[in-house]
């Protein structure tokens, strides 16, 4: 999702409409970020694991869409193949733009180069200088997703501080060929079980137990991805 994003402006974008999205721009994305709030729903369709930013050391939850870099088994002919679309996928071609001088201030942007953006077909963004109901609903969802992302960053740090992330290499077999998947982290079940009652209770109060268990359950979806690749 490397297309440049421009601040949404009724004076500049007053005649723009958003039509049906072609997801071809994600065809080479094998992982996408998901918030902790959506892991339960994402786990129905995808393996959800954690990755570590090599520069910041921060962990992030992601949905696996393929079993190797450059592979997205969820996009075919520009169409999304699974029922659940992660927020970052659903929000496109709109997005949140951060204020570099004020971390609490955000704007809504649009990717003008998207094939879904035009002036002929689709949902209008403005009626004159006023936002349409469609845009108001999209903006509300964007802000909600952004807030969930910010909360997830804080909560994932709680897990990291408890040293619950375990680096793992997963091995899958596709058409008789074994392939190792590296660079991912899972919740360490042994350490989770060794937490004190107070620490475990704190995770429960923070609402972290449901996403933890959903993450662990979702790992069975790796076999589904392997089957999908083998049948492609």
Strand order in the sheet with 117-118: 117-118, 17-18, 123-124
Judge contact between 38 and 90, C-beta under 8 A: no
Phi, psi angles (nearest 5°) of residue 163: 60, 45
Please report the pLDDT score of residue 129 as a whole number: 87
Please report the pLDDT score of residue 1 as a whole number: 53
The one-digit pLDDT tens for each residue of the chain (232 residues) are 568 999 999 999 999 999 999 999 999 999 999 999 999 999 999 999 999 998 999 999 999 999 999 999 999 999 999 999 999 999 999 999 987 777 778 899 999 999 999 999 999 999 988 999 999 999 999 999 999 999 999 999 999 999 999 999 989 988 888 989 999 999 999 999 999 999 999 999 999 999 999 999 999 999 999 999 998 7
CA pair distance 49, 34, nearest whole angstrom: 10
């Amino acid at each position: 999702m490397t297309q440049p994003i421009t601040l949404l402006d009724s004076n500049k974008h007053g005649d723009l409409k958003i039509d049906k999205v072609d997801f071809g721009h994600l065809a080479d994305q094998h992982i996408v970020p998901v918030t902790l709030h959506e892991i339960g729903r994402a786990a129905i369709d995808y393996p959800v694991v954690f990755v570590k930013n090599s520069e910041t050391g921060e962990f992030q939850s992601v949905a696996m869409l393929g079993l190797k870099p450059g592979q997205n088994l969820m996009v075919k002919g520009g169409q999304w193949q699974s029922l659940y679309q992660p927020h970052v996928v659903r929000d496109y071609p709109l997005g949140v733009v951060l204020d570099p001088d004020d971390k609490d201030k955000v704007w809504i942007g649009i990717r003008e180069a998207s094939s879904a953006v035009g002036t002929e077909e689709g949902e209008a963004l403005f009626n004159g200088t006023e936002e349409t109901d469609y845009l108001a609903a999209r903006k509300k969802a964007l802000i909600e997703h952004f807030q969930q992302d910010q909360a997830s960053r804080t909560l994932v740090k709680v897990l990291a501080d408890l040293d619950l992330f375990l680096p793992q290499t997963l091995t899958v077999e596709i058409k008789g060929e074994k392939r190792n998947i590296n660079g991912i982290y899972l919740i360490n079940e042994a350490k989770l079980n060794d937490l004190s009652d107070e620490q475990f209770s704190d995770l429960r109060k923070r609402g972290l137990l449901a996403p933890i268990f959903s993450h662990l359950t979702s790992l069975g979806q790796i076999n589904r991805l392997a089957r999908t690749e083998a049948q492609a």
